[in-house]
């Protein structure tokens, strides 16, 4: 086991009655709280819209027509259910564990993000909204939103940090091809956090016509609930399929955590299965002892950002720190509130994997299985080594392969070529 692969810190102690331990399987309360986390810390202008969204969402969820329309789009357009692939050569390379990959990389547009955007855009249309806005980091959520808008005929604008527009040119072009307008954000750190600020500012201004499609289980209530619901199809499919294939529940489930939507998506169906280990993998960037990482749950502390109470990367004065990861989709100094509750009550273990290890995971999956993972998902792959060590041969591990790596090939090629020269 390499020291740099996975690091954890002792958890901060939060009293059990506040941690939401008993709430986590039941989801948020009426105020959108998972224990002490969640809530709606937004300007008053947005409050009525959030309430309207909440009731529209609840009504849609009860409506058979909505559910049927959603599932037919997921089947015929997104390509669901996605397969589960047993990664045999990878399992051997890891000392004889059995690894099953949930193939969200095979969805239309190449990442789990589309499950959420189809659901939200369908809802927005039902609410009579004519304009969609979104933020994006890696560009995957932006592409998925632009795609859903093209499909359903709504206009779409996507905020993206200036730095990310440079790192992810291909996705900028994909959004534009789908008819969306990409708006580069120059404020603050010019990454995902600032793109969210800008999207919220737009939403406050255009609240009457516009729906804001948030890309992860973050933000004010009802977003963490709604995005989790739209993503939980991943875990429902995976649970049924793995039972069919192996006759039992897996020993562990691994997913990467940026805002936490693919992780919540696969965890949700398994949270009540106490025997199944759930592991969320954050980005340790250049190392947890530097300021260049995105390990919010592993290293952060509770606070309020983007409308929700959750773990954050912040200084002692409550100013939000910049995050860093080679994987732009993990580059966020906050995390979904439900993850904070799941951490405090101990149901999910959160670890962090650094840029180097993620690169090794990226290559390992490519070489052993011919599957190029997104750099985000490669963080989860990198953690398998430790899991294999802990669980031993024969263990069954389910990994959420949240996206495919086409978007990252140029980044990785640049790094590897740079090394050859020196």
Ligand X SMILES: Cc1ncc(COP(=O)(O)O)c(C=O)c1O
Q: In whole angstroms, how close is the CB of 337 to another protein at the nearest point?
A: 13
CB 131, CB 199: distance < 8 Å: no
Residue whose pair of structure tokens reads 């562990």 in the numeric block: 252
Q: In whole angstroms, how close is the CB of 113 to another protein at the nearest point?
A: 22
Nearer to ligand X among residue 144 and residue 395 (C-beta): 144
417 binding partner (options ligand X, another protein, none; Cβ < 5 to 8 Å by kind)? none
Cα dist from 413 to 167, 286, 340, 359, 405, whole Å: 13, 19, 35, 11, 12
Cα dist from 417 to 372, 379, 409, whole Å: 18, 21, 12
- Asked if omega into 81 is within 30° of 0 (cis), the reply is yes
Of 258, 300, 333, 361, the one binding ligand X by CB under 6 A? 258
In this structure, the strands spanning 98-103 and 84-86 are antiparallel
Count of beta carbons in the 10 Å neighbourhood of residue 75: 11
Q: In whole angstroms, how close is the CB of 7 to ligand X at the nearest point?
A: 19
320 binding partner (options ligand X, another protein, none; Cβ < 5 to 8 Å by kind)? another protein
Cα dist from 375 to 45, 89, 167, 241, 359, whole Å: 37, 20, 13, 26, 7
Catalytic residue list contains 157: no
Residues 282-301 that bind ligand X (CB under 6 A): none
Catalytic residue among 54, 104, 135, 386: 135
Nearer to another protein among residue 237 and residue 344 (C-beta): 344
Nearer to another protein among residue 43 and residue 95 (C-beta): 43
Residue 162: DSSP 8-state: H
Strand partners, 84: 102
Of 53, 154, 257, 345, the one binding ligand X by CB under 6 A? 257
Residue whose pair of structure tokens reads 């900028």 in the numeric block: 172
386 binding partner (options ligand X, another protein, none; Cβ < 5 to 8 Å by kind)? none
Nearer to another protein among residue 165 and residue 189 (C-beta): 189
Residue 191: DSSP 8-state: S
Asked if 91 is part of the footprint of ligand X (rule: CB under 6 A), the reply reads: no
Q: In angstroms, how far is the first alpha carbon of the chain from the final one? A: 27
Asked if 374 is part of the footprint of ligand X (rule: CB under 6 A), the reply reads: yes
Secondary structure of residue 183 in the 3-state scheme: strand
Nearer to another protein among residue 76 and residue 317 (C-beta): 317
Whole-angstrom distance, CA of residue 144 vs CA of residue 108: 9
Whole-angstrom distance, CA of residue 341 vs CA of residue 310: 8
Catalytic residue list contains 402: yes
187 binding partner (options another protein, ligand X, none; Cβ < 5 to 8 Å by kind)? another protein
Catalytic residue among 19, 125, 402, 407: 402
Asked if 376 is part of the footprint of ligand X (rule: CB under 6 A), the reply reads: yes
Residues 137-156 that bind ligand X (CB under 6 A): 137-138, 140-141
CB 159, CB 135: distance < 8 Å: yes
40 binding partner (options ligand X, another protein, none; Cβ < 5 to 8 Å by kind)? another protein
Compute φ and ψ for 170, nearest 5 degrees. Answer: -60, -40
In this structure, the strands spanning 37-38 and 84-86 are unpaired
141 binding partner (options another protein, ligand X, none; Cβ < 5 to 8 Å by kind)? ligand X
Residue 35: DSSP 8-state: T
CB 300, CB 322: distance < 8 Å: no
329 binding partner (options another protein, ligand X, none; Cβ < 5 to 8 Å by kind)? ligand X
Q: In whole angstroms, how close is the CB of 4 to ligand X at the nearest point?
A: 21
Of 250, 259, 300, 307, the one binding ligand X by CB under 6 A? 259
Secondary structure of residue 41 in the 3-state scheme: coil
Stretch that binds ligand X, among 18-26, 267-275, 303-311, 369-377 (CB under 6 A): 369-377
Q: In whole angstroms, how close is the CB of 410 to ligand X at the nearest point?
A: 15
Nearer to ligand X among residue 73 and residue 335 (C-beta): 335
Residue 111: DSSP 8-state: B
Secondary structure of residue 258 in the 3-state scheme: coil
Q: In whole angstroms, how close is the CB of 260 to ligand X at the nearest point?
A: 5
CB 379, CB 361: distance < 8 Å: yes
Catalytic residue list contains 113: yes
200 binding partner (options another protein, ligand X, none; Cβ < 5 to 8 Å by kind)? another protein
Q: In whole angstroms, how close is the CB of 400 to ligand X at the nearest point?
A: 8
Residues that bind ligand X (CB under 6 A): 111, 113, 137-138, 140-141, 216, 256-263, 329-330, 374, 376-377, 402-403
The residues that are catalytic are: 113, 135, 402
């Amino acid at each position: 086991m390499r020291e740099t692969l996975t690091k954890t810190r002792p958890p901060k102690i939060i009293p059990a009655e506040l941690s939401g331990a008993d709430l986590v399987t039941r989801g948020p309360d009426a105020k959108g709280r998972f224990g002490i986390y969640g809530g709606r810390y937004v300007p008053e202008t947005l409050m009525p819209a959030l309430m309207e969204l909440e009731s529209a969402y609840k009504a849609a969820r009860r409506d058979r027509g909505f559910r049927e329309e959603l599932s037919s789009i997921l089947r015929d357009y997104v390509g669901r259910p996605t397969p589960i692939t047993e990664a045999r050569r990878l399992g051997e390379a890891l000392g004889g564990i059995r690894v099953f990959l949930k193939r969200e990389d095979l969805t239309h547009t190449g990442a789990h993000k589309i499950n959420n955007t189809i659901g939200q855009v369908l809802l927005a249309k039902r609410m009579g909204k004519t304009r969609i806005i979104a933020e994006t980091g890696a560009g995957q959520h932006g592409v998925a939103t632009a795609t859903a808008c093209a499909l359903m005929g709504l206009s779409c604008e996507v905020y993206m940090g200036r730095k990310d527009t440079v790192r992810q040119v291909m996705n900028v072009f994909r959004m534009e091809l789908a008819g969306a307008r990409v708006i580069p954000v120059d404020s603050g750190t010019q990454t995902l956090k600032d793109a969210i600020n800008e999207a919220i500012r737009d939403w406050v201004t255009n609240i009457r016509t516009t729906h804001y499609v948030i890309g992860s289980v973050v933000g004010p209530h009802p977003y963490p609930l709604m995005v989790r619901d739209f993503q939980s199809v991943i875990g429902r499919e995976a649970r049924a399929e793995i039972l069919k294939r192996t006759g039992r529940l897996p020993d562990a489930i691994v997913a990467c955590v940026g805002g936490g939507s693919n992780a919540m998506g696969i965890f949700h169906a398994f949270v009540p299965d106490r025997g199944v280990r759930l592991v969320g993998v954050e980005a340790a960037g250049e190392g947890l002892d530097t300021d260049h990482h995105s390990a919010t749950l592993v290293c952060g502390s509770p606070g309020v950002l983007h409308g929700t109470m959750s773990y954050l990367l912040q200084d002692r004065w409550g100013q939000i720190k910049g995050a860093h990861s080679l994987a732009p989709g993990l580059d966020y100094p906050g995390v979904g509130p439900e993850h904070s509750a799941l951490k405090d009550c101990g149901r999910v273990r959160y670890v962090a994997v650094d840029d180097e290890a993620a690169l090794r995971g990226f290559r390992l999956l490519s070489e052993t299985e011919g599957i190029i993972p997104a750099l985000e998902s490669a963080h989860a792959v990198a953690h398998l080594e430790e899991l294999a060590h802990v669980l031993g041969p024969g263990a069954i591990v389910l990994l959420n392969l949240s996206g495919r790596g086409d978007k990252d090939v140029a980044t990785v090629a640049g790094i590897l070529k740079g090394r050859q020269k020196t």
